[in-house]
């Protein structure tokens, strides 16, 4: 194997049967078991869950057999479970953390191995680094332990535990669900064949509110879509919103920790617009105050909202493993990233597409505005902001050449505007005199170069993206 396992932005992901094999998954599980033992967390037990991907339940069982064989109690989810529900399960069981078998929003041929901490957050780079460093020794000495599932259950080292009831009880304390159920909204929900299927429909059904769910069955192929709730993957949802006259469309990704929104006209909102609107919901509708934590890829609208509502705004590298610690340190009201993941104070400091969906619906109800009217309301406060991202695949061997190409250029102007500053917090970012920005960075989990831009018009955004492509030589 040669230890090709590398933990990226949020865990390790690989192509099923090529990299993501039972041997490799057991190897990672053994490394987690040893990490828990050496850090004194093992006696608290470990939650293990999984998504709808091919053989995810079998990979989860393999992890449970390894963790149990090392003497650590396993709380094994008995069915497909969303990542935020599993993360809350860690908190509910006061466990040492979790292993989640999921590749989140990746294409169907991928699966993944996420590690969650004892507070339900994504594992830090230090924790993931420690797990990764243990792999060669475990492999070289063939130290992987295994205990058959049946024996683990008999001995009480493995216990089936469904974290959903505790999670749903907690959610009901955060949102006025009965008020939502009695509104006359028509909502189309798209779990994208993922782990979130059935959750929103169950939570908000039972009143006047009408909920229609699509793509709710388990289908590991994710037919005709990639389970990432961004515009190119929301065509079916957009069409149905328009055809049925629905008020809004909501989509969660493969493991339901991200949210996509389609407005009443069938037009997808950008993740940056959603983030800013969720901040307004907490600051204005709920009247709460607290810091905002954003990654470098998210919107500058948040700085303007920070000024309006007199709250600080902090910035991190990409990944909730960076956002969560800052949220905790600052007791932040909300944290978010450009990939449609948002976390909230009073909940787990982790992304939750289900709770974000409920908050967005509550925003519509409390302000009595359609999604498009909410965008107008937002722009009335912060001015128009447009955003887009392009993803460019490249041969893995070209990575260093691309980095050198971008590093060797320091543009004084982009399109017709002066570059006032640049930084390398996470990738290569250029700030322009008119408030626009351009960012070039590599995906943490795939051989993809992502180019991001935000500006005052969509035409300027597209021009900046082309400039970014040119700088990268792709």
Q: Binning pLDDT at 50, 70 and 90, where does residue 272 land?
A: very high
pLDDT at 186 over 70: yes
pLDDT at 337 over 50: yes
- Among 456, 422, 453, which Cα is nearest to 437's? 453
- Residue 2 falls within a domain, yes or no? no
Average pLDDT rounded to a whole number, residues 260-286? 97
Distances (CA, A) of 437 to 331, 358, 406: 28, 31, 16
Q: Which CATH number does the domain housing residue 315 bear?
A: 3.40.120.10
At residue 1, the pLDDT reads: 43
**DSSP string for 370-425:** -HHHHHHHHHHHH---EEEEEEEE--GGGHHHHHHHHHT---SEETTEEEEEEE-S
In sign, the C-alpha dihedral spanning 20, 24, 30, 35 is negative
Determine the Cα–Cα distance for residues 249 and 230; give it in Å rounded to an integer.
Answer: 12
pLDDT at 14 over 70: yes
Helical segments of 18-163, H only: 22-38, 56-69, 83-93, 125-140, 149-154
pLDDT digits (tens, 9 = 90+) for 140-161: 999 999 999 999 999 999 999 9
Domain count, the chain: 3
pLDDT digits (tens, 9 = 90+) for 79-113: 999 999 999 999 999 999 999 999 999 999 999 99
Q: What is the mean pLDDT of the chain?
A: 95
pLDDT at 279 over 80: yes
Average pLDDT rounded to a whole number, residues 360-384? 97
pLDDT at 266 over 80: yes
Q: Binning pLDDT at 50, 70 and 90, where does residue 200 land?
A: very high
Separation of CA 319 from chain center: 8
- Residue 151 falls within a domain, yes or no? yes
**187 and 155 within one domain:** no
Q: Are 163 and 85 in contact (CB under 8 A)?
A: yes
Distances (CA, A) of 424 to 54, 195, 350, 420: 37, 35, 25, 14
Q: Binning pLDDT at 50, 70 and 90, where does residue 446 land?
A: confident
Burial class (CB in 10 A: 0-12, 13-18, 19+), 404: exposed
**76 and 126 within one domain:** yes
- Residue 3 falls within a domain, yes or no? no
Where is the domain boundary, 382, 416, 441?
382
Question: What percent of the chain is predicted at pLDDT more than 90?
Answer: 92
**376 and 392 within one domain:** no
**271 and 185 within one domain:** yes
pLDDT digits (tens, 9 = 90+) for 16-45: 999 999 999 999 999 999 999 999 999 999
At residue 396, the pLDDT reads: 84
Question: What percent of the chain is predicted at pLDDT more than 70?
Answer: 99
Q: Are 312 and 303 in contact (CB under 8 A)?
A: no
At residue 143, the pLDDT reads: 93
- Residue 1 falls within a domain, yes or no? no
At residue 410, the pLDDT reads: 85
Query: Would the pTM count as exceeding 0.85?
Result: yes
**464 and 392 within one domain:** yes
- Residue 395 falls within a domain, yes or no? yes
**371 and 245 within one domain:** yes
**455 and 337 within one domain:** no
In sign, the C-alpha dihedral spanning 146, 149, 155, 160 is positive
- Residue 185 falls within a domain, yes or no? yes
Where is the domain boundary, 128, 163, 198?
163
- Residue 241 falls within a domain, yes or no? yes
- Residue 356 falls within a domain, yes or no? yes
pLDDT at 132 over 60: yes
**357 and 238 within one domain:** yes
**415 and 325 within one domain:** no
pLDDT at 2 over 60: no
**157 and 187 within one domain:** no
At residue 445, the pLDDT reads: 65
155: which residues sit within 8 A by CB, 6+ positions away?
Answer: 68, 147
**464 and 396 within one domain:** yes
Q: Which CATH number does the domain housing residue 428 bear?
A: 3.30.310.50
Domain that holds residue 361: 175-382
pLDDT digits (tens, 9 = 90+) for 215-248: 999 999 999 999 999 999 999 999 999 999 999 9
Where is the domain boundary, 136, 163, 190?
163
Average pLDDT rounded to a whole number, residues 438-463? 91
Residue 185 phi, psi dihedral angles, 5° rounding: -70, 150
**74 and 200 within one domain:** no
């Amino acid at each position: 194997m040669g230890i090709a396992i590398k933990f990226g932005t949020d865990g390790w992901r690989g192509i099923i049967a090529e990299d993501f094999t039972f041997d490799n998954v057991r190897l990672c599980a053994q490394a987690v078991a040893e990490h828990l033992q050496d850090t004194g967390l093992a006696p608290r037990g470990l939650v293990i869950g999984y998504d709808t991907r091919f053989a995810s339940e079998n990979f989860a069982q393999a992890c449970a057999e390894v963790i149990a064989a090392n003497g650590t109690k396993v709380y094994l989810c008995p069915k497909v479970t969303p990542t935020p529900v599993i993360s809350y399960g860690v908190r509910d069981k006061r466990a040492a953390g979790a292993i989640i078998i999921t590749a989140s929003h990746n294409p169907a041929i991928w699966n993944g191995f996420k590690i969650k901490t004892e507070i339900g957050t994504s594992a830090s780079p230090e924790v993931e680094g420690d797990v990764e460093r243990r792999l060669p020794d475990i492999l070289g000495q063939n130290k992987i332990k295994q205990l058959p599932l049946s024996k683990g259950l008999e001995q009480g080292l493995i216990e089936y535990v469904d974290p959903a009831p505790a999670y749903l009880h907690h959610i009901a304390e955060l949102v006025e669900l009965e008020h939502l159920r009695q509104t006359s909204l028509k909502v189309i929900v798209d779990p994208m064949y993922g782990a979130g299927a059935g959750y929103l429909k169950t939570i908000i059904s039972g009143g006047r509110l009408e909920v229609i769910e699509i793509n709710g069955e388990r289908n590991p192929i994710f037919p005709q879509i990639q389970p990432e709730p961004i515009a190119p993957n929301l065509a079916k949802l957009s069409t149905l919103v328009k055809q049925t006259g629905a008020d809004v469309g909501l989509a969660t990704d493969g493991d339901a920790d991200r949210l996509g929104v389609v407005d009443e006209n069938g037009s997808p909102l950008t993740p940056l617009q959603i983030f800013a609107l969720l901040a307004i919901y907490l600051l204005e509708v709920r009247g709460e105050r607290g810091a905002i934590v954003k990654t470098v890829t998210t919107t500058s609208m948040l700085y303007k909202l920070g000024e309006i509502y007199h709250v600080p705004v902090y910035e991190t590298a990409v990944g909730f493993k960076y956002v969560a610690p800052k949220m905790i340190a600052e007791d932040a009201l909300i944290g978010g990233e450009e990939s449609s993941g948002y976390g909230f104070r009073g909940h787990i400091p982790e992304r939750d597409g289900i709770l974000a969906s409920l908050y967005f619906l509550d925003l519509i109800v409390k302000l009595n505005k359609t999604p498009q009217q909410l965008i107008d309301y937002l722009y009335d406060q912060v001015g128009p902001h447009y955003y887009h991202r392009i993803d460019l695949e490249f041969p893995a061997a070209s990575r260093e050449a691309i980095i050198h190409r971008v590093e060797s250029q320091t543009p004084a102007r982009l399109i017709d505007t002066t570059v006032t500053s640049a930084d390398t917090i996470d990738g290569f970012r250029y700030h322009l005199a008119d408030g626009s920005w351009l960012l070039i960075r590599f995906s943490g989990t795939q051989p993809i170069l992502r180019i991001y831009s935000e500006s005052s018009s969509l035409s300027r955004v597209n021009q900046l993206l082309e400039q970014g492509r040119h700088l990268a030589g792709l």
